Amino acid sequence: AGAGLWDEAIFVLEELYPGGDDLRNANPMAYYFLGHFWLQKGEEQEALACFKRAAEQSPDYCFPFRLESIGILEEAQALNPADARAPFYLGNLLFDMQPERALRAWERSVELDDTYWLAHRNLGMAYDRVEQNPSLAVGHYLEAIKLKPDDQRLLYELDLIRAAAREDPGTRLELLARHHDVIADNHVSDALAREVMLLVQLGRYEEALQVMEENKFKQWEGVSKAYNSYVDAHLFLGWRLMQEGKYEEALKHMQDAGKFPDYMMVAKPYRGGRSAEVHFFTGTVYEAMGKARQAREHYQVCVEERQNLSLDGNHFYRAMGLQKLGMENEAGGIFEDLIALGEQRLGSTEADFFAKFGERETADDKMAEACYLIGLGCMGRGDNDRAARMFSEAVRLNINHVWAAKYLDQIQN
């Protein structure tokens, strides 16, 4: 075709897909290219017939990537305006580099055929990322779920959008719980991890732990945060039991928070992780029980655990351990560093549009985390008034920040 040998190009594609084959098994782009070749020969009716056959093919796993496909798909739309698939494929091809143009293409596709779930999903994603319109995005995701209720990925992506839009956690959990059988019976645990996270956020710790124990949470780069929910559920439950004076039960949950059960499918990281936090809280339970020696042992381990080289919220617990061991100056330095880091980050937050891995953070998410770091530093050095203001601001910016909410409640009550 590149040499203008249209007849030969047509022959090759027609040999690949002879008329007697099942049309639903053909690659749609083969027929779009075939139509283009006929159009180059001036055979408009033959081209139209090929474009119509292209529109009849299953869209499953069809994702055009060649730049020359852009013009061919536009030709197909011009000659066959009723084709809903051509603008869908065009949007797929364009989104990475021309998202606004892709959004318009997907809108055209849905206008022509509103029964294709993936077109609704793509349009929902575009409304979220391109136009920052969560209301329209949610509407199209809900339509996609109605059309394909067995796809856990739709539920996962929708919850990310609703979380970023600060929708009520209870409403979000209701949808995931309604589809629990779908998201639990799946080789991917993204949506299930969101359900568990919301159960923890809403204080339903025992339910969250039960769901985790009944499932396996597969891990890979930038995906599941289920293990954090596992740690949170045990720590929050232990905290509540300690306040109720049920120290033995509280201690068990604090200790369980430091474990790595098989169903979580993770191991203790070489550096970082949350072990310092777990040992600190375990020490506080022993201290409340009047067991000073055991408490001191856990504070000592908390201080000695390997931390990330770069400062983060986990260093707060090391500083608290140091404070418990009487090393006030060293602890104070970490608290001041946390405040300085948070203040620095407040001035340099921006949303991540094309995050390739994991869950994108909005600018508000990053500002909330910065306020949280300042709050930790202030709380550590005894400035509870400013700490409360910072935690309150973190929760205002991100209602899903469970630890900011927890520490705010502790200071206020």
CATH code where residue 123 lies: 1.25.40.10
Please tell me the predicted confidence (pLDDT) of residue 53.
Answer: 94
59 in a structural domain: yes
363 in a structural domain: yes
345 in a structural domain: yes
Please tell me the predicted confidence (pLDDT) of residue 20.
Answer: 47
Distance CA 188, CA 400 (A): 23
35 in a structural domain: yes
**Final residue in a domain of this structure, among 148, 178, 202:** 148
pLDDT in tens, 138-152: 999 999 999 999 999
374 in a structural domain: yes
Cα separation values, 134 from 106, 117, 178, Å:
17, 18, 22
Question: In the structure encoding, which two tokens stand for residue 188, read together?
Answer: 């991917």
166 in a structural domain: no
pLDDT in tens, 288-342: 999 999 999 999 999 999 888 889 999 999 999 999 999 999 999 999 999 999 9
What pTM did the predictor assign?
0.91
With the CA atoms of 407, 201, 191 and 360 taken in that order, what torsion angle do they form, in degrees rounded to the nearest 10?
-30
Q: Which residues of the chain have pLDDT under 70?
A: 17-25, 186, 221-224, 349-359
175 in a structural domain: no
50 in a structural domain: yes
User: Which is nearest to 192 in space by CA: 176, 204, 207?
Assistant: 176
Distance CA 56, CA 1 (A): 24
Count the domains in the chain: 2
**Final residue in a domain of this structure, among 116, 148, 180:** 148
User: Which is nearest to 161 in space by CA: 138, 191, 194?
Assistant: 138
Please tell me the predicted confidence (pLDDT) of residue 187.
Answer: 77
**Final residue in a domain of this structure, among 99, 128, 148:** 148
Please tell me the predicted confidence (pLDDT) of residue 309.
Answer: 82
Q: Domain of 344: which CATH number?
A: 1.25.40
Segments forming the whole domain that contains residue 335 = 330-413
Please tell me the predicted confidence (pLDDT) of residue 188.
Answer: 81
